Structure 1
Amino acid sequence: MKTNLLFAGALAFALVAVAVHTISPGADIFSLMPDAGFATAMATLAVNKQRDYQMGDKEEYPVIAADIIYQGAAVGENASGYARPLVAADPFLGFAEAIADNSAGAAGAININVKKRGNIVLPISGLAITANDRPAVYASDDDTFTLTSAGNSLIGYVSRWVSTGVAVVEFDAALVKAALQA
């Protein structure tokens, strides 16, 4: 379809060029046209091509040996690069979408699927209705969330207060990682 449109455009330009200029015999109509990327357009796909698509808000990581990550757990990365139930100060990877039971397996024997960005309702220690300034939210383990940064893992920011001690948290593991590296 793209090639047909390019040809139609080139033909239209050639007709205009003929009306305005005389084309010498054997002239290439593309040489009369301004450079609009026509030469590279011929490299477009001519057949279907399978691609490996990755969902933008999901990821998959190998799980640490002899451990279980439960659905809904905050997931962290250990120093060896394996996913585990988050431990304070771990880099945050996201929230487990389903249980990953590697209690009898070697490191990397199974993978965990995580949601790496989105909004989630969490209980947060010390959260009051006055949390309207989008305070940072931290985790001290896979199910304990707080506004205290010391020694904990940044996971996101309060998006909306729900009730005392409960909020919608906006999380994005990639942005958290970038913020920690800055």
Structure 2
Amino acid sequence: MTTLAANKPRAFELGTIQEYPVIAADIIFEGAAVGENGAGFARPLVAGDTFLGFAETIVDNSAGVAGQRTVRVKRRGQVQVPVVGAAAITANDGPLVYASDDDTFTLTAGANSPIGRVSRWVESGLCVVDFDASLAAETAARIAGDA
């Protein structure tokens, strides 16, 4: 192996923040769950998409071509969202949470996209979700395999 003999500047990412190119003719609103459309472009999440994270700001690419704009997403953290099926405090620290669109979250897997786990139940139908875009699909597959 050869060790460095001079400075070597490297391109570093912003930790839990990432930017993705947005599909053509769409708007991703701040706070939206963002999915990947299978062709590498970000969009408001649709059931079955790979979860990329939550949009930090609105991105209006309604008049643009694919990739003309990018969306900044938070890929990991905790977020308070309404969760269908989380009716009791027994939801604390456990159930997987899935998204069926950019603002609908549920405990039902079906064809939905895994985004994380309930961290804390707040009140009926409202939870703090511990999300991690890089682990969401992997976690769901592992748990399904353990069942």
Q: TM-score, normalised by structure 1?
A: 0.72
Q: Which runs of 5+ in 1 are unaligned?
A: 1-39
Give 2:30's aligned residue.
Answer: 71
Shift of 1:130: 1.4
Give 1:141's aligned residue.
Answer: 101
- The root-mean-square deviation of aligned C-alpha atoms, in Å, is 1.8
Amino acid at match of 2:97: V
Structure showing greater Rg: 1
Report % sequence identity. Answer: 61
Aligned CA distance change for structure 1 residues 181 and 164 (closer, same or farther; 3 Å) = closer
- Pick one of 44, 48, 72 that aligns with 1:89: 48
Give 1:121's aligned residue.
Answer: 80
Give 1:108's aligned residue.
Answer: 67
- Runs of 4 or more, structure 1, over 2 Å off, are 43-47, 177-182
Q: Which runs of 5+ in 2 are unaligned?
A: 143-147
CA distance in 2, matches of 1:146, 1:178: 18
CA distance in 2, matches of 1:105, 1:135: 39
SS of aligned partner of 1:130: helix
CA distance in 2, matches of 1:162, 1:143: 18
Give 2:118's aligned residue.
Answer: 158
CA distance in 2, matches of 1:119, 1:140: 19
Task: Give the structure, 1 or 2, with the largest relative contact order (CA under 8 Å, sep 6 or more).
Answer: 2
Aligned pairs, number: 141
Bigger share in helix: 1
Q: TM-score, normalised by structure 2?
A: 0.88
Aligned CA distance change for structure 1 residues 45 and 99 (closer, same or farther; 3 Å) = farther
Aligned CA distance change for structure 1 residues 150 and 44 (closer, same or farther; 3 Å) = same
Q: Which moved more, 1:108-117 or 1:130-139?
A: 130-139
